[in-house]
Amino acid sequence: MRPDLALQLLGELLWTGLLISAPLLAVTLVVGLLVSVIQVVTQVQEASLTFIPKLIAAVVVLVVCGPWMLKRLVGFSSTLIANIPTYF
């Protein structure tokens, strides 16, 4: 395998991983920030108040975006596996 091909595959792998994880990370970040602002305003410092909303938001994102994430991951994997003979 040529080094430039290995770097290209690594770049595609990282980009796919970033795209797959971006919706989940973005939503949990926003929910965490909103809950933190509410905690600061109300001066209620309870650890479960940050965990439960982020958990619920993560489940909702996985239900909504899960099929897209799986489709993207399967597409990348099938392309990678189909091109194995051309890598050597």
- The C-alpha atoms of residue 38 and residue 20 are separated, in whole angstroms, by 29
pLDDT, tens digit, 9 for 90 and up, residues 23-67: 999 999 999 999 999 988 988 888 778 889 999 999 999 999 999
Cα-based distances in Å from 23 to 7, 12, 15, 59, 70:
25, 18, 14, 12, 13
Name the residue among 65, 54, 51, 72 with its Cα closest to residue 23: 65
Q: How high is the pLDDT of residue 45? A: 81
Q: How confident is the model at residue 14 (pLDDT cuts 50, 70, 90)?
A: very high
Give the whole-angstrom CA distance, residue 80 versus residue 86: 10
